[in-house]
Structure 1
Amino acid sequence: MGEIFSRIEHSRTADEVVQQVETLILEGVLRPGDRLPGERELARQFDVSRPILRDALKAVEGRGLITTRHGGGTHVADVVGQVFARPVAELIVSHAKAKADYLEYRREMEGMAAEYAARRVTDDDRALLRRIIERMEDAHRRGDFAEEAEIDVEFHNAIGECAHNIVLLHTLRSCYRLLSDGVFQNRLIVFTLADAREKLLAQHRAIHAAVTGGDPAAARKAAMDHISFVELAMAEAERSGDWQRVSKLRLRQRLDAERRKAG
């Protein structure tokens, strides 16, 4: 991890260190699982004494934001994107109305995020998005739709980060967590539909172009059109799967009936 921590300029108290660490977590710079530098290096970056640093880290850990593993260093705790408790997440995926509402909510939130990102995108944001879209294109060329699906979630997370709105960022991360945790397993079948991978890549490119080009209206439309496509594609994939299931049962029933007659 590079030097993301800043020198404490004034009184160099534990409270100032605590505030800086909390802000980095809140703004999504520090992510769950990220390892903080060692005590000596961290004290150097903050320019505080090690006793002050220890007091600060103890306070942050007491709030559940970081965890210290024996012999494994200090890491950011898994506190981001937990709006949906596991039982609620499972209810969402098992009820058709809830799944539809989930996509409807994502469509509006992602449209807003893309619009904000286009208004507020920085050069560093553009560099981040460019790296993600290049990896997505590489996975697409290699035909690795599982990796492409993972990068899909990463891309949308990054758009949320580039919106530079803390509440929106954490709300969206909760939505994406349902995807990365495997709650919506059937999302992968969208990538198996004819031409779906090409269309999805084109949609991600359109979102990327509008955001990095600073076009808020186009960014909102591209993001919302993308979710509308995903919604229709998931419905088609589920119907196709159901047709295949029914066809298989029908064939099995006919074969059993023929065997009984022959017997």
Structure 2
Amino acid sequence: MSIAAELERQIIEGIYKEGDKLPSERELTVEYKVSRNVIRQAITKLREKGLLTVKPGKGAYITELKDSIVGDSLIKIMNKYNYKPEELLEVREELELIIIRKSIEKAEKANIEQLKQINRKIENNTTSFKEFLDDDYKFHMVLAESTQNPIFPILIRSFLNTTDYFSFSVSMFIKDFTDVLNVVTEHHRKLIEAIENKNEKVAVSIMREHMNLTREKIAIFYR
């Protein structure tokens, strides 16, 4: 396995977390017993993939993927080829259904407590649609992390970023989002209960309702 592939594996598996600084070139040359040139080539490859951000004079950092090129790329592709938001949502829904099924099987107590905390925060938000989107994003990311498979958070992140882009566009025309917030928090509460009770049938049904809500709100603006 190449140095670039090994470092990429460690990033994907969460050995290096988002925002972490990669060891220095000198430290990596010692660890892998290769030249600095080999390390620099590996860093360049990972930077080109969007996994690393190089800060002059400071070093290389693991990219915060929420703000990476993944979601932006989906938006650019959709704009270029005129894909419709509902086509993206169809794919996201299938991914969310896989995630909720795996979460029922794999979620740990810490994951469930995180979900509850996030949902309580959403319930108490009555003023900021942007904050609501951010917290809903966190809820779905914790769901993905609950699968205990590091690939799911990476996949869902790109879809969340892109559908949130559309949702934020819709938000410009929403004066009162209280009704939406109430429905979303109720969906979240039922999803958490289904995970705790390991009730896949209920969880899948609620997730479909949740995605239909997203689809309806975006369709109002984009139809």
TM-score when normalising by structure 2: 0.72
Provide the identity percentage.
14
Aligned equivalent of 2:57: 71
Distance 1:170 1:103, change over 3 A: same
Unpaired segments of 5 or more residues in structure 1?
Answer: 1-14, 243-263
- Alignment RMSD (CA, Å): 3.8
Distance 1:230 1:82, change over 3 A: closer
How far the C-alpha of 1:178 sits from its partner, in A, is 1.0
* Structure-to-structure mapping, 1:1-263, within 5 angstroms: 21-27=7-13, 30=16, 34-36=19-21, 39=24, 49=30, 52=33, 57-58=39-40, 60-64=42-46, 65-77=51-63, 81-82=70-71, 84-90=73-79, 98-121=84-107, 123=108, 126-143=109-126, 144-165=128-149, 168-180=152-164, 182-188=165-171, 192-193=176-177, 195-236=179-220, 238=221
How far the C-alpha of 1:215 sits from its partner, in A, is 3.1
Contact preservation (8 Å) 1:108, 1:224: no
TM-score when normalising by structure 1: 0.63
Q: SS state of the match for residue 54, structure 2?
A: strand
Contact preservation (8 Å) 1:118, 1:216: yes
Distance 1:120 1:142, change over 3 A: closer
Distance 1:130 1:81, change over 3 A: farther
Q: 2-side partners of 1:51 and 1:222: how far apart?
A: 48
Which structure has more relative contact order (CA 8 Å, sep 6+)? It is 2
For the pair shown, the structure with the greater C-alpha radius of gyration is 1
The one-character-per-residue Cα deviations of 1:147-200 (angstroms, maximum 9, x if unpaired) are 1211111211222232244554433222112145x3543343679345221111
Q: SS state of the match for residue 198, structure 2?
A: coil
Task: Show structure 1 runs of 4+ deviating over 6 A.
Answer: none
Unpaired segments of 5 or more residues in structure 2?
Answer: none
Q: 1-side partners of 2:11 and 2:176: how far apart?
A: 36
